[in-house]
Homo-oligomer: A and B are copies of this chain.
């Protein structure tokens, strides 16, 4: 039996159309992130196994792809290496290893694949790209403001208009729970319920809070503060923050959280993200490692998010044995690609043909002329294919048509004698002869 030629389970081959789309999105991300002074980092796909184990909890540990020792040790069945599971642990390793070589405030982006032995499902893969930007070494609220601005600029430049940057703060959330009298051990449960406010509404959240054993009085308070009660008109402005803060009488740490969130809001309003910013007190995200602001990008009429992030001051120092302030944002590259494909958001130069022109071969002796003409057109910036054989012209046209190439060039003997080329526009069927030196300009003008 012939071996299967499918990619490994849960992994994908990207054919040319796919790669062009992926590179378009990644290109925009890189362009924007560089304009903000974020710098690129790349780490190996493979890490020493000790670097990864114990970093992702018990469930995460099971999803790590482990690499067998080699040579005489292979029979032992032991693993000494493993595939990268995310880009955060490698960043922490890099910060520890090269601390003296890195700038004091390290603004890095990293766009690379990660591998997880998850059960494959629709939209869930075992190899997928993460697209992270993190700032290590600063506690300034300007860091959060710029991360929101940059992520927003990426989406805007990709063609998204209707997105919202939801912003909240872990300590403000903590204050709400404490102020509402939710027992600390039920805090996580309460957040899971609150996080669903946009999806199931206030009544749904109230029922879920009750089911999770949270007192009705706490539930009412929380939902009121979340702006679905009396405070609704100003629920998504900083007025809301002021009102709730007065009512809760926060402790020192909570008060700093309120101040920090107000600072971030104020600064972000001075960036290009301003029209998209929304204070959203129901935003919870996985709270396990966030220590400050949290943010998430939502698109109208689209479930889920296109990215999210927040401040996590206790994680990047894991290999250094000290706290290192850090704040990051992760764009959901794979999801952005799905949405852009569904919505037809790719420009024609990305979604279209691989070449602008096919140069045909008039006869067997014409291959050299075709190559020379192609070189001239490439000099002018066009993407040019040369048909490799002196097949019948009809077959060469058919090939161009199947490939979606918009222009086909023919240099017959008559044209060659006159120094002309014939250009056929495959979209209109129109055909005309132009002086050879004007061919590139004639086609550039008519490019999609």
Q: List the interface of chain A (C-beta within 8 A of B).
A: 2-8, 11-16, 18-20, 22-23, 34-37, 39-48, 50-51, 62, 65-68, 70-71, 74-79, 81, 83, 93-94, 96-98, 101-105, 107-108, 113, 115, 117, 126-127, 135, 138, 140-143, 145-146, 149, 266-267, 269-272, 319, 321, 354-355, 367-372, 375, 378, 381-386, 388-389, 399, 402-403
Contact = CB atoms under 8 A, between A and B. Distances in A.
Nearest to A65: B67
Q: DSSP class of A's interface residues: helix, strand, loop or mixed? A: mixed
A277 B320 CA distance: 55
A108 B96 CA distance: 40
A388 to B, nearest CB: 4
A13 B45 contact: no
16 contacts: A3-B48, A3-B50, A7-B47, A7-B97, A8-B44, A8-B47, A13-B44, A14-B41, A15-B101, A16-B108, A35-B381, A46-B115, A62-B71, A65-B70, A65-B81, A269-B368
Q: How many copies does the complex hold?
A: 2
B70 A34 contact: no
A202 B15 CA distance: 48
Contacts of A382: 35
Contact of A146 (B2, B371, B399): B371
Given A76-B77, A371-B270, A378-B36, A41 B16 contact: yes
A272 to B, nearest CB: 5
A94 B142 contact: no
Contacts of A62: 70-71
Given A319-B5, A369-B270, A371-B267, A384 B36 contact: yes
A68 B69 CA distance: 10
B45 A45 contact: yes
Given A20-B40, A142-B367, A267-B368, A149 B375 contact: yes
Given A45-B113, A68-B79, A113-B45, A35 B371 contact: no
Nearest to A142: B388
A113 to B, nearest CB: 7
Contact of A16 (B16, B22, B40, B369): B40
A35 B378 contact: yes
A18 B42 CA distance: 9
A48 B2 CA distance: 14
Nearest to A63: B70
Contacts of A272: 375
Nearest to A354: B39
B127 A48 contact: no
Given A371-B270, A378-B35, A143 B388 contact: yes
Nearest to A64: B70
Cβ-closest 3 pairs across A and B: A77-B77, A37-B385, A140-B388
A103 B402 contact: yes
Contact of A67 (B42, B68, B102, B142): B68
A4 B48 contact: yes
A267 B15 contact: no
A384 B354 contact: no
A82 to B, nearest CB: 9
A2 B77 contact: no
Contact of A117 (B22, B70, B146, B399): B70
